[in-house]
Amino acid sequence: MEGDLEASIEILLSQEKKNRLAGDISGTKDAVLSIIKVCYDARAWKTLNDQIVLLSKRRGQLKQAVTSMVQQAIQYIDMTPDMETKIELIKTLNGITAGKIYVEIERARLIKKLAKIKEEQGLIAEAADLMQEIAVETFAAMATTEKIAFILEQVRLCLDRKDFIRAQILSRKISPRVFDADISKEKKKLKEGDNIVQAAPSDIPSLSELKYTYYQLMIRYYSHKDEYLEMCRCYKSIYEISLVKEDPAQWIPVLRKICWYLVLSPHDPMQTSLLNATMDDKNLSEIPNFRHLLKKLITMEVIQWTGLWETYKVEFENEKNTLGGSLGDKAVEDLRQRIIEHNILVVSKYYSRITLKRLADLLCLNLQETEKHMSDMVVSKSLIAKIDRPKGVVCFQVSKDSNDILNSWSANLEKLLDLVEKSCHQIHKETMVYKATLRT
């Protein structure tokens, strides 16, 4: 049987050489494919590897023949009898595709298969290193969805190995605007009889599914630093996916997360804008507890922490059973911090000066905690305040320089003169009307 295989290969190699030297593309491709098919039919995996290497290195080998051979051999990977044979075939194909632009897409797919095997063996670091060797964003012939899926796999492996810096760098290769593009309009021009942009494999998810995966990975990235506002924006993007918005079972957990992360986010213009936009969402009426929570933050009134926590403790603990899991170990502490900051901002709206003791009573804190929280807010520039420690007084007024004072005086004088002029005009008008009445 082995002798018959070698004889068949010799005949086909002779035919391949004749066609190759004659520049016959179709004949060369047929001969090359026949050789590897003969090896596959005989289940001679070592011979198959040897012939793939031999054919790729033959003098003046045609690019089309190598491409067809690699594409055909990739289909045999899943037919291998054991893992060792599979890895050997993948490594052989990787070796012959290295440095060849015309088979760069096939190389990327091979690396992805090998990385998956490494991951299943528990070698996460090796799998991540393998995937990082390929820069698919430069592949003009690869479909957009396949590029995105490959980069997302790179990001996921980096997150799995806790390499957050590289995960961030890789994630920036994907622009969020690409998820709103129309992939069906992707240009497909002909070049040497083939499409430049190849069709994505059947196992590649749709664009909306890739968008969902992308934001899930970004949530994982932002969660390691507790960047609540960015996590909220990610959930907001997931919430706007049509497949999610059509199913209440999917959008209700997402909307809950949006509300929680809005409450946990530090006070800034972006947070305020998202808060108001979420309050205008009609779907919020389906979860009235969270509507009431957001309304508390918008209303300029002091919130009692103990009462709030008793009301929402059960809802908070239920988050671990919904989409995205629990809110994190620090979430309770951060939630209390946000309520204190809200209360300080409320007090600063109503008071220009207040004693530190009175402020501590309003916040339900001791003097040291009150001073610490105020100092943190001043340092983060979310509050303008000064503390007079000897007097125990907090001043929320902004100190004005001489120019500001002069400008305010000038504005006040202008208003005063305008008011005097209007008053004189009204008096003159009434006098003229009265005189006209007397004459009549």
Which of 55, 78, 98 corresponds to the end of one domain? 98
- Same domain for 83 and 30: yes
Q: What is the pLDDT of residue 57?
A: 84
Structure tokens at 191: 């070049």
Residues 234 and 340 in one domain: yes
Same domain, 244 and 342: yes
Q: Would 203 be classed as within a structural domain?
A: no
The pairing of strands 393-395 and 353-355 is antiparallel
241 contacts 212 by C-beta, under 8 angstroms: yes
- Asked if residue 266 lies in contact with residue 341, where contact means CB atoms within 8 angstroms, the answer is yes
Given a contact cutoff of 8 angstroms between Cβ atoms, the answer to whether 113 and 79 are in contact is no
Find the largest Cα–Cα distance for the chain: 137
Same domain, 249 and 273: yes
Residues 374 and 359 in one domain: yes
Number of independent structural domains in the chain: 4
Give the pLDDT band (50/70/90) at residue 194. Answer: very low
**Could you give the CA distance from residue 210 to residue 247 in angstroms, rounded to a whole number?**
18
| Confidence check: pLDDT of 193 > 70 | no
Element (H, E) at 6: helix 2-21
**C-alpha to C-alpha distances, 204 to 124, 146, 207, 270, nearest whole angstrom:** 22, 6, 9, 35
Average pLDDT over the chain, rounded to an integer: 84
pLDDT at 401: 67
CA distance 275 to 262: 7
Task: Report if residue 285 sits inside a domain.
Answer: yes
Residues 394 and 411 in one domain: no
- Interhelix angle for 45-57 vs 2-21, to 10°? 20
Output the domain CATH number for residue 382. 1.10.10.10
Whether the per-residue pLDDT at 190 is higher than 60: the answer is no
- With 90 as the cut, is the pLDDT of residue 437 above it? no
d(CA 279, CA 388): 39
The whole-model pTM stands at 0.80
- Is the domain of 326 the same as that of 239? yes
Range of the domain at 40: 1-98
The tens digit of pLDDT for each residue in 146-177 reads: 899 999 999 999 999 888 999 999 999 988 88
One domain, residues 243 and 345: yes
> Which stretch of DSSP H or E encloses residue 235?
helix 228-239
Cα-Cα end-to-end distance for the chain: 135
Residue 212 lies in a domain: no
Q: Return the SS3 of 163.
A: coil
Q: What distance in Å separates the CA atoms of residue 115 and residue 275, rounded to the nearest whole number?
A: 42
Q: Which of 77, 98, 119 is the last residue of a domain?
A: 98
Q: Is residue 132 part of a domain?
A: no
